[in-house]
Amino acid sequence: MTYGSALDIPQPTPDAVIMARILIVEDNPDLAYGLRTGLEIEGYDVQVAEDGERGLERAREWKPDLVMLDLMLPGMDGYRVLKLLRDGGSDVPVLILTARGEEADKVLGFRLGADDYVTKPCGVLELLARVGALLRRSRISEQRGASADQMERFGSVEINPASRTVTKEGTAVALSPKEFDLLLALVRRRGAVASRVELLREVWGYRVEVMTRTVDIHIAELRRKLEDDPSQPHHILTVWKAGYRLEP
């Protein structure tokens, strides 16, 4: 993450989510200060926790609208914080911000329930765009959840949008928030193909073509959890050079 002078930090935009609460869990005080300053200028209410234990405690008590989480933290690392949050039933959007950029690290982060993964160093404009996209997507999901409660099914899988739960052959399947949103986006297309860019925009709220591997990683997780044989899927299908579709 690189920050210039205060003049380099973007000013508030009309679609900023004013006074949304953001928790930064980051042990580097200079980086935490820069992140907090940039986010507060955008109109967010920000708190900082300098280690994993304090971060988990603040997330449970303060109920932020988004958590920005480092992985390499003293004591309890970011993976553990994320797992305990999700195991405790929290669906708060979590953006991992870390120097660990290997695909295995990203897969583990998404598998544990992260909503986005940003590798340091990262430009402030991109980071603020991702934060805004996650918050907008979270707000849209809540609005849809309040009105769209029609059950969806394919194969032996049943999806309840109202409770955001999924079962396979009557057994509950644990999906991360973004895995659930992605699955619902595919199901509601009724067999039509969705490109990676379309899914990024719909599920993650991105307006530009970034991190298309994010979709692939989440698709792989859905297959692992919902297909009888993930290596030969019958429902969540790849359409060569086009994207993905769901076959009932």
- Which residues contact residue 194 at a Cβ distance below 8 angstroms, ignoring those fewer than 6 apart? 185, 186, 202, 243, 244, 245
The separation between CA 103 and the C-alpha centre of its own chain, rounded to angstroms, equals 16
Q: Within a domain: residue 40? A: yes
Q: Within a domain: residue 1? A: no
* pLDDT per residue rounded down to tens, the chain (248 residues): 444 433 344 444 434 434 789 999 999 999 899 999 989 988 899 999 999 999 999 999 988 999 999 999 988 999 999 999 998 888 899 999 888 878 888 889 888 989 888 888 877 888 888 888 888 877 755 655 544 567 888 999 999 988 889 999 999 999 988 899 999 999 988 888 888 888 887 887 765 445 568 889 999 999 999 999 999 999 999 998 889 999 98
Domain boundary residue, one of 141, 164, 199: 141
Domain boundary residue, one of 116, 141, 166: 141
Name the residue range of residue 196's domain: 148-246
Q: Within a domain: residue 234? A: yes
Instruction: Give the number of domains in the chain.
Output: 2
Q: Within a domain: residue 123? A: yes
Q: Are residues 134 and 153 in the same domain?
A: no
State the pTM of this model. Answer: 0.64
Q: Are residues 195 and 118 in the same domain?
A: no
Q: Are residues 176 and 80 in the same domain?
A: no
Query: Residue 165 is part of a domain; what is its CATH number?
Result: 1.10.10.10
Q: Are residues 154 and 184 in the same domain?
A: yes
What is the H or E stretch that residue 159 is in? strand 157-160
Distances (CA, A) of 207 to 43, 129, 200: 21, 9, 8
Q: Are residues 127 and 199 in the same domain?
A: no
Q: Are residues 65 and 137 in the same domain?
A: yes
Q: Are residues 198 and 214 in the same domain?
A: yes
Tokens found for residue 56: 């988990």
Q: Are residues 156 and 137 in the same domain?
A: no
